[in-house]
């Protein structure tokens, strides 16, 4: 049997496994596999954060507690103080929540058999809209309603240019929510698709090699396997980097909305 034909037959099954399959309930009132894993990620996040906050000591004596504390410190120093600057302290709980939830969601997806909640566009849209509403809320709070709308366009422009620039800035502001959502979704989905394709190719080639007793088919899986491990390592990096990028962009948008131009 030709492994490539078999591979082409099996790819639709792989694609189908990324669809939001319903775990229980109906399509209008029920739960898909991504929502199921999202709730599990919520529980893990809450368990980690609450468990660690009970064991906080002045001198760190627990490696795990110290690690989570370092993560919080990373959000506070690198993202909060670095990107927002003055008055960053009140935004840290929001940013830390986003960071830990996205980080844990991305890492849960890397365990074979688990799904990443951020691998579906609905969850990332929800996260992006939360971020969008949050920075607009703080922008309105900082400048007042009309002042915030005016502050979208930079001050000091010649009169006739103001509506044009305002329009472009407004479009770019709406695009912020879109790009936040699609960046996270695209990275997680594409990464898992690449991992899935190579894992599928390895299993099909080895299956054909065993079935036909043809050792030529056993050669490509060696290369695939090396590539798969390398891609997996890259995905671990991407999982962290995307959580970082999402959080730091939220921080930058908050600082853009609240700072006076």
Partner 1 sequence: MELTLALSALKLVGYGLATIGPGLGIGIACYGCCMASARQPELAGRLFTNFIIGAALAEALALIGFVLAFIV
Pattern 184-203, partner 1, x by CB under 8 A: --x-----------------
Q: Are 251 and 83 in contact (CB under 8 A)?
A: yes
User: What does each C-alpha distance from 16 to 5, 11, 48, 82 come to in angstroms?
Assistant: 18, 9, 33, 42
Q: Does 182 bind partner 1 (CB under 8 A)?
A: yes
Distance, in Å, from the CA atom of 247 to the CA atom of 131, rounded to the nearest integer, reads 9
* 227 versus 244: smaller Cβ distance to partner 1: 244
Q: Does 175 bind partner 1 (CB under 8 A)?
A: yes
Q: How does DSSP classify residue 81?
A: I
Distance, in Å, from the CA atom of 244 to the CA atom of 258, rounded to the nearest integer, reads 21
For the bound state, the minimum distance from the C-beta of residue 49 to partner 1, rounded and expressed in Å, comes to 24
Tokens linked to 259 = 């700072």
User: What does each C-alpha distance from 68 to 45, 52, 71 come to in angstroms?
Assistant: 11, 7, 5
Pattern 225-244, partner 1, x by CB under 8 A: -------------------x
Q: Does 72 bind partner 1 (CB under 8 A)?
A: no
Q: Does 76 bind partner 1 (CB under 8 A)?
A: no
For the bound state, the minimum distance from the C-beta of residue 36 to partner 1, rounded and expressed in Å, comes to 25
Q: Does 83 bind partner 1 (CB under 8 A)?
A: yes
Q: Does 38 bind partner 1 (CB under 8 A)?
A: no
Would you tell me how many other CB atoms lie within 10 Å of the CB of residue 218? 13
Which residues contact partner 1 by CB under 8 A?
78, 82-83, 175, 178-179, 182-183, 186, 244-245, 248-249, 252
């Amino acid at each position: 049997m030709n492994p490539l034909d078999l591979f082409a037959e099996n790819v639709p099954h792989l694609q189908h496994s990324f669809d939001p399959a319903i775990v229980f309930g109906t399509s209008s009132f029920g739960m898909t596999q991504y929502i199921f894993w999202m709730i599990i990620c919520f529980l893990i996040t809450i368990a980690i954060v609450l468990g660690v906050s009970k064991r906080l000591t002045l001198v760190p004596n627990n490696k795990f507690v110290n690690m989570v504390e370092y993560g919080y410190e990373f959000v506070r120093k690198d993202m909060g103080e670095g990107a927002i600057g003055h008055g960053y302290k009140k935004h840290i709980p929001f940013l830390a929540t986003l960071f830990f939830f996205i980080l844990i969601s991305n890492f849960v997806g890397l365990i074979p058999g688990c799904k990443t909640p951020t691998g579906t566009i609905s969850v990332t849209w929800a996260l992006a809209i939360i971020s969008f509403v949050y920075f607009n809320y703080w922008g309105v709070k900082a400048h007042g309603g009309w002042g915030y709308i005016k502050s979208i366009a930079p001050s000091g422009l010649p009169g006739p240019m103001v509506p044009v620039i305002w329009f472009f800035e407004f479009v770019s502001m709406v695009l912020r929510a879109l790009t936040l959502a699609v960046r996270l979704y695209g990275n997680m989905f594409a990464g898992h698709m690449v991992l899935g394709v190579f894992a599928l190719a390895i299993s099909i080639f080895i299956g054909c090699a065993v079935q036909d007793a043809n050792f030529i088919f056993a050669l490509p899986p060696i290369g695939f396997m090396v590539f798969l491990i390398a891609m997996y390592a890259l995905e671990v990096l991407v999982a962290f980097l995307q959580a970082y990028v999402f959080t730091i962009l939220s921080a930058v948008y908050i600082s853009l909305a609240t700072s006076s131009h």
